Amino acid sequence: MGITKTEFFTQKQNDTALLMKALGHPARIAIIEYLMSVDACICGDIVNELALAQPTVSQHLKELKNAGLIKGNISGNAICYCIDDTAINTLRGYFLEISDNLEKKKNMCC
Amino acid sequence: MGITKTEFFTQKQNDTALLMKALGHPARIAIIEYLMSVDACICGDIVNELALAQPTVSQHLKELKNAGLIKGNISGNAICYCIDDTAINTLRGYFLEISDNLEKKKNMCC
DNA sequence: TTTGTATATTGCAATATTACGATATAATTT
DNA sequence: AAATTATATCGTAATATTGCAATATACAAA
């Protein structure tokens, strides 16, 4: 059907999946990496950086924003986007937890 | 168009996006968390766990496997799936790096 | 060897995503 | 105010994803 059955999963599982999904496109990875590499962060720079059309970049920025991965401040007639550390820290914690867990039961399986 | 323009991004960006995308669905998050929670790991258990039909679960397992997030060993007429720590460590490292980077330039932007 | 059990594959309908031209909005400059 | 600049939204075509019934495969047990 193409429709995800979110009702069968926990809130946390759905939230985690949404965060990961938002990062599941190279353009959005590139945006995050670009925002990480610069101090100033204006949307126009991202459009120039990405080799995608401006509406496409705008759409990707919107998805990152909806997921809570970036935040945008209006700054004159431009918009300053930057990474939201809350989401990043959530994901950092998530993978640290899995990694620690795997470390503990090394060679217990497969 | 619906087709991702991978040629505009680096190999690493595309690879990272594929890993993230594989985790961008609650069923696949649930599978990873289930594999983490148990010592034995047989596909049938996952089907019982998930409230999704067997072909659907099989498809999600395939995607996780293609992404390198899990590996499967044939064990009799069942298959033993478990988490591949290499991919998890890659993700852990990725988010640690971003997190560290954000820490450094605290309040530099937005 | 037939029957059962476990998993994968195929085929397809419903829905979502990607990309972008055209256009809208909103602040800035002239 | 008109023109310019920066970004968002709309509409739409192409493609991808999700989910599952039906079926195939492959091993195990009787």
CA neighbor of A29 nearest in space, from A83, A99, A96: A83
To test the contact with chain A by mutation, choose from B94, B105, B106 the residue with the greatest count of A C-beta atoms within 10 A, namely B94
Return residues with beta carbons within 7 A of strand C: A 1-4, 21, 24-25, 27, 52-56, 59-60, 63, 74, 76-77; B 1-5, 42-44, 47, 54-55, 58-59, 61-62, 72, 77-79
> What is the predicted pLDDT for the residue at B91?
98
Q: Residue B101, Cβ neighbours under 10 Å: how many? A: 16
The pLDDT tens digits of the residues spanning A10-50 come to 999 999 999 999 999 999 999 999 999 986 677 788 999 99
Specify which residues A69 forms β-bridges with.
none
Q: How far apart are CA A80 and CA A86, in angstroms?
A: 18
Domains of chain A: 10-98 (1.10.10.10)
DSSP H or E stretch at residue A99? helix A85-104
> What is the predicted pLDDT for the residue at B109?
64
A6 has a pLDDT exceeding 60:
yes
A107 has a pLDDT exceeding 60:
no
Cβ contact (<8 Å) for A105 and B39? Answer: yes
Residues of A in Cβ contact (< 8 Å) with B41? 109-110
CA neighbor of A88 nearest in space, from B89, B12, B98: B98
Which residue reads 């991978």 in tokens? B6
Q: Is A61 left (phi over 0), alpha (psi -120 to 50) or beta?
A: alpha
A57 CA → D1 C1’, Å? 32
Top pLDDT among B99 and A1 is at B99
> What is the predicted pLDDT for the residue at A66?
97
Q: Which residues of chain B have pLDDT under 70?
A: 1-2, 39-40, 106-110
**Confidence at A97, pLDDT banded by 50, 70, 90:** very high
Q: Are A84 and B16 in contact (CB under 8 A)?
A: no
3-class state of residue B78 by DSSP: strand
CA neighbor of B101 nearest in space, from A63, A4, A109, A34: A34
Question: Tokens standing for A55?
Answer: 């509406």
Q: How far apart are CA A78 and CA A74, in angstroms?
A: 6
